[in-house]
Chain A
């Protein structure tokens, strides 16, 4: 192909092709092709079957294309093995001499030196594992038993799966949103937004204005100047109205992804909106995330108070019989997230020989009501307090006959929780982060960054998390070069997260296909002394 990469005619052809793909994409609902690709199933009839060789048969979800080629159709890298992109434009593009000559968004594993597939050769590849050039495909590629009608559906799906015009991405601007719910803590909200604001300002300072777009090498495409623009979506009113508000905001200002943000009592409407809108929602600051196994678009740093509940359950169930707790009394505010955490703990303990008793407090509960929730305790009870710092400070005198108290670290303020002196010695705290002395070095960088930019540290953990995910977004977009595909953004984060060195409050962060919570464990800690903020781990890092 003698034509240079930037030939205007080819460019135009590519843009036209994108337009067509984008148009078909918009009309593609849930098709037979999509069902085969994503789940190895068809709306009616038996599951899809494939074979690698005699006896190595797979079917249904195990045979779904998505397992290797991913939702984006852009493939992935596993080990030194690249699973190639199979979104239409990567299959049907004309042969090019080198990858640099390909006028396609850069994806690792894309092939230049190959004849374009036709519907017939693609069907042969899918059925017999023979590539466009007549050579065998990788051993990993199964041979599918699809009839002609199924094949036509699948190929039609692959054709429309191509990267096209993405809302929120223009030639000069990348639009992002961050979502703030009205019930978010006001101080934390301010701290988080300030970090986001400063990060975006800094990001844009680094992109020099007006420098020419580089064409010499596809790998240099990330040098294209795109201004990052952050839209703060402040929700108002009742949670039932948030999804409609978000739909209106997205329609008015399309964005490529949602980054960070902060929630309060519930995040579920935001989670569901992102899932519906196929909009990546990356690592919001929430204590109560949504656990939904098959959802794709929302990623969280951890399971929040639901992880704490699992940590406490682990401690209660691991104790040897002589110290065994027989009953757990859980106290929480009825209108707060502790209700969900308590429910989760009760469910986990059900049938495990530990009775649970929930004592919810109404919104208007006074210090006296709190005191009465602590009545009638026995010496083989454990008390679990899903309470905020103000309630913890108001605990007052410690009831007699109370051997063990567990506390939510996230709700009460971690090592800064204002626990009355009399309670300290019997109190253990679920601590779903790395220990303070171990995370100090990892926090030096973000804290230094805040200091230089004069960002007051008002919510260290949330602000450090926000800085962390901004950096992650920036790195991931660099690796994606100019291939702006929302699913691909999520997939690349899944793959790349484990490589991050600066993991802030967390000892490590990892994701993988299907995993949605990056930090998987935590400690249970106690206070070292009657005063001060030094905490000591009861035992090892627990992954419940």
Chain B
């Protein structure tokens, strides 16, 4: 775990002393599986720098786009990785994005929510658009697919690739602006906690 600053998030605020990691495949503790668990979400937060790979993805509106350009549109970015056939983790993560948008209200468009599919061959743009509708995605939230290679490059670049799509773990990434470090949240983050992290990120910009 060298070079990664981890700490349980709930009720622990400041990230001041977090170390920087460059493109690291961070593996961070997560809440124990089925065993005596936690009624509240347990997530750990770290700061990291990632190099956004210059890959082409296909957005849920069918348009072919460049990943770096989608991320560098001037807005803060909140990113996760999902696939639409996933029964447990992904719907929960998408619901957190939905609630996050809802809590932001009219400011929802000032942040770019991005969800990249880890099952791009099944998740066609149309399928992703259906999925987005199910979670009431607003105009600030896009889903992305593309070739398997492009999706893998994105997953690897952000250290979320776990060998196959069924082995994924919940990860949420936030960045205030291009060139700034990323906040990486491993584990289940609640909408309120995500909002708190986001506001703090903007304040430090």
Contacts and interface: CB of A to CB of B under 8 A. Distances in A.
Given A136-B37, A540-B147, A513 B122 contact: no
A510 B34 contact: no
Contact of A495 (B92, B120, B121, B166): B166
Nearest to A77: B166
A67 B89 contact: no
A67 B88 contact: yes
Contacts of B36: 131, 133, 135-136
Interface in A490-517: 495, 498-499, 508, 510, 512-515
A131 B188 CA distance: 20
Contacts of B88: 67-68, 76, 78, 81, 83, 140
B121 A498 contact: no
A510 B38 contact: no
13 contacts: A56-B190, A62-B134, A68-B87, A78-B87, A79-B30, A80-B169, A81-B30, A131-B36, A136-B36, A138-B33, A508-B148, A510-B119, A510-B164
B191 A520 contact: no
Contacts of B87: 66-68, 76, 78, 513
B151 to A, nearest CB: 11
B33 A81 contact: yes
B103 to A, nearest CB: 8
Please give me the 10 A-B residue pairs with the lowest Cβ-Cβ distance, nearest first. A136-B39, A512-B85, A138-B37, A67-B87, A84-B34, A520-B121, A79-B169, A68-B88, A135-B36, A498-B164
B86 interface: yes
Contacts of A78: 86-89, 166-168
Given A139-B40, A512-B83, A515-B122, 7 more contacts: A58-B91, A67-B88, A76-B88, A109-B33, A135-B36, A138-B34, A498-B164
A487 to B, nearest CB: 14
B196 interface: no
Given A82-B34, A137-B37, A515 B165 contact: no
Contacts of B164: 498-499, 510
B199 interface: no
Interface of B: 30-31, 33-42, 83, 85-89, 91-92, 95-96, 99, 102, 119-122, 124, 134, 147-148, 162, 164-169, 188, 190-191
Which of A82, A512, A513, A520 has most chain B Cβ within 10 Å? Answer: A512
Contacts of A495: 166
A129 B124 contact: no
Given A52-B92, A495-B166, A82 B33 contact: yes
A139 B119 CA distance: 24
Interface string A66-93: 1110000001111111111000000000
Contact of A139 (B85, B121, B188): B188
B99 A56 contact: yes
B62 to A, nearest CB: 12
A352 B121 CA distance: 23
Given A68-B87, A68-B88, A540-B147, A512 B119 contact: yes
Contact of A498 (B102, B120, B166): B166
Contact of B41 (A67, A139, A540): A139
Contacts of A543: 120-121, 124
B10 to A, nearest CB: 11
Contacts of B124: 543
Contact of B33 (A66, A80, A540): A80
A441 B135 CA distance: 43
A513 B85 contact: yes
A510 B39 contact: no
B44 to A, nearest CB: 14
A249 to B, nearest CB: 33
A31 B35 CA distance: 30
B6 to A, nearest CB: 16
A111 interface: yes
Given A136-B37, A512-B83, A79 B162 contact: yes
A521 interface: yes
Contact of A79 (B35, B89, B119): B89
A218 to B, nearest CB: 17
A37 to B, nearest CB: 13
A53 interface: yes
B95 A58 contact: yes
Interface string A48-68: 000011011010001000111
A55 B165 CA distance: 28
A516 to B, nearest CB: 11
A75 to B, nearest CB: 8
Nearest to A135: B36
A80 B34 CA distance: 10
Contacts of A141: 37
Contacts of A498: 164-166
Contacts of A109: 33-34
A55 B99 contact: yes
B42 A139 contact: yes
Which of B33, B38, B121 has most chain A Cβ within 10 Å? Answer: B33
A299 to B, nearest CB: 14
B165 A56 contact: no
B38 A514 contact: no
B38 A140 contact: no
